[in-house]
Amino acid sequence: MSKQILSVKSLTIESKGIKYIKNLSMELLEGVSYIFLGEMGSGKTVLCNAIASNLSSKYRVVSGDIFYKEESILSLSENEYRKIAGSEISILSPEMRFHPYTEVGKQIEDILSSHNLLKKTKKEIIPFLEKIGFTKKILSQYPYKMEELDLKKLMFLITLLLSPNISMFIHSFRGFDSEIERFFINLILEKVKIEKMTPIFVTHDLSFADRYGEYIFLFKDSEIVEHGDKKSIFDNPQNSYTKLFLESTPYFKIKYPKK
């Protein structure tokens, strides 16, 4: 039976009097693929940033807590959290950036070295690059001269080499062609199976959720309105909003027509 790896207890987060997370609770098990599904602005990304200890200063945790392996994330100092950031809990979002004026190869090696993983993973870097269409020459390039999509692929490389216990992907596959998307997701799902990684895919795309999710949390207005395994959510939704959300998408109407 899978172990609990993360729990959120009665969490409320606000900014300027507006609640972006409202008394939210959830439990995540290791080795399960999760989908945070919902419209833009429903609270998915704010929750992920809280889990990653990456909230901007405009947000304030009003109440509640987040526990990783039964230890409070919100109680950790910046230095304490840095020890688990990346190697145990990672977040890959559109806001992440390389330093523009440092060679990408040096940045990759520095990140791996900071987690004592360079020696273990160095031999994997070049084969990995080749599988996503690069040669080793890219390691000597500077980010400010590179395409955003190429930098995004390299961010994935770092995340998968770090092989964190919990990895959050916030709309991270936008712009990739279907072949590259499948390559990365197959690697992630392989780590789920072999290493019991717990990925969280943040999306409002029902077809993506259907293909890759095991367990779905549906967000609306900073709350979770329904959650369950994919089959129960898609085949037998209980919440009225869930039904509206699903039926508003042509994909769902075609694949899951009403009986």
pLDDT in tens, 41-76: 999 999 999 999 989 899 999 999 999 998 999 999
Q: What pLDDT is stored for residue 259 in this prediction? A: 52
The pairing of beta strand 60-68 with beta strand 34-38: unpaired
Average pLDDT over residues 251-255: 77
Average pLDDT over residues 3-29: 96
User: Whole-angstrom Cα distance, residue 130 to residue 47?
Assistant: 35
Decide yes or no: CATH 3.40.50.300 for domain 4-255.
yes
**In contact, 92 and 167? CB cutoff 8 Å:** yes
Q: What pLDDT is stored for residue 248 in this prediction? A: 86
pLDDT grade for 11, boundaries at 50, 70 and 90 = very high
Q: What pLDDT is stored for residue 251 in this prediction? A: 80
User: Whole-angstrom Cα distance, residue 124 to residue 161?
Assistant: 8
CA distances from 156 to 17, 79, 166, 242 (A): 36, 24, 14, 31
Q: Give the three-state DSSP class for 87.
A: coil
Q: What pLDDT is stored for residue 1 in this prediction? A: 66
pLDDT digits 0-9 by tens, 137-181:
999 999 999 999 999 999 999 999 999 999 999 988 888 888 999
**116 pLDDT exceeds 80?**
yes
**224 pLDDT exceeds 90?**
yes
Global pTM value: 0.93
pLDDT: which is higher, 231 or 13: 13
Tokens representing residue 128 in the block: 């990995």
Q: What pLDDT is stored for residue 151 in this prediction? A: 93
Q: Give the three-state DSSP class for 95.
A: coil
Q: What pLDDT is stored for residue 143 in this prediction? A: 96
pLDDT digits 0-9 by tens, 203-217:
988 889 998 989 999
Q: What pLDDT is stored for residue 257 in this prediction? A: 74
Q: What pLDDT is stored for residue 111 in this prediction? A: 92
**95 pLDDT exceeds 90?**
no
Average pLDDT over residues 126-137: 92
